Amino acid sequence: MTADVGELFKLYHGPLVRMLHRRTGDRDQAEELAQETFARAVEAPPQNPRPWLFAVALNLVREDARTHARRSRRLTLLKSEPQSSPAPDVDFERRERQEAVRDALAQLNDRDREALLLKAEGFSYDEIAATLGLARGAIGTTLARARRRLVEAYRAQELRKHAAS
């Protein structure tokens, strides 16, 4: 059993953390949730591991979103800025863009957002359907809507920012 989980860890830990980081914006939270996901896999080894692991991870994100946010604030702000350079605006543009993208992503509903993130991890329509509990025929519609909404939300933010500046 454990060897199987070890193999799963090798295969999916990186993609899982990446997807969770994209979803949460918090590297350590992503690591923690990935750990919890694998801990659950130890207890109940999945038959279809990739959709199972990502589905559990996404469920954990949803469960955790409220409780984790308040608790982690102060510590998160420290680790999110590993540099102690005196220049406070170093790397600012990239972070600003990431915040804008994350805000845009936050405007999507859970299903659209998660379908997008899973597709970005190379999931097939069948795997996305299995992970999210959707019909395969709904995936094309979901992705088309999610992509358009994400791009439009981001563009709207950019326009607002330019208008304000």
Partner 1 sequence: MPHLDDATIHTLLDRELDSAEQQAVESHLAECEQCTARLAEERSIMSGAEELIASLDEPPGEKSEVRSEKSEVRGEKEEARREPASGAAFLHPSAEPRGKGPPVVLIPEGVPAGWLPRRRWPLAAAALLVVAGGAGWLVFRPNEPTAVAVGTESLALDTVTDAEEAAMSAAIMRAPAGLPAADTTDPDTSPQVASMPAAQAAFDSPATQEFSNALPIDLAVGVTGGSSSTADEQQVRLRAQAAEVALAESTTLAIRESLLAVERARDSLAQLAQRRSDDSARQAIAIQNAEATERRRAEAQRRDAAEVALESPPPQPVARPTAGAAAAARDEATTRQRVAPAPRMGPIGLDEAADLLGQPVHAIDGMRFNSVSLVPGSSFPGADAARPVVRVTYIGVDGGIIYLDQQRLLDGSGEGDTEEVFRASGWYIGSVRLRLMGDVTHDSLAVLVGKVR
Which residues, 31 to 90, sit near partner 1 by CB under 8 A? 31-33, 35-36, 38-39, 42-43, 60, 64, 69, 73-90
For residue 137, the Cα-to-chain-centroid distance in whole angstroms is 23
User: Does residue number 109 form part of the binding site for partner 1 (CB under 8 A)?
Assistant: no
Q: Among 53, 57, 58, 117, which residue interacts with partner 1 (rule: CB under 8 A)?
A: 117
List all residues 6 or more positions away from 126 whose beta carbon is below 8 Å from its beta carbon.
Answer: 136
Residue whose entry in the numeric block shows the structure tokens 């981001």: 154
**Which residue, 82 or 133, is less far from partner 1 as judged by CB?**
82
Work out how close the CB of 29 gets to partner 1 at its nearest, in angstroms, rounded to a whole number.
8
Is the Cβ–Cβ distance between 139 and 115 less than 8 Å? yes
User: Does residue number 159 form part of the binding site for partner 1 (CB under 8 A)?
Assistant: no
List all residues 6 or more positions away from 54 whose beta carbon is below 8 Å from its beta carbon.
Answer: 16, 19, 118, 121, 123, 131
Residues in region 3-32 near partner 1 by CB under 8 A? 3, 5-7, 9-10, 18, 21-22, 25-28, 31-32
User: Does residue number 99 form part of the binding site for partner 1 (CB under 8 A)?
Assistant: yes
Q: Among 54, 57, 119, 131, which residue interacts with partner 1 (rule: CB under 8 A)?
A: 119
Q: Among 48, 59, 62, 97, which residue interacts with partner 1 (rule: CB under 8 A)?
A: 97
Size of the site for partner 1 (CB under 8 A): 77
List all residues 6 or more positions away from 50 whose beta carbon is below 8 Å from its beta carbon.
Answer: 12, 123, 127
Cα separation, 38 vs 152, whole angstroms? 35
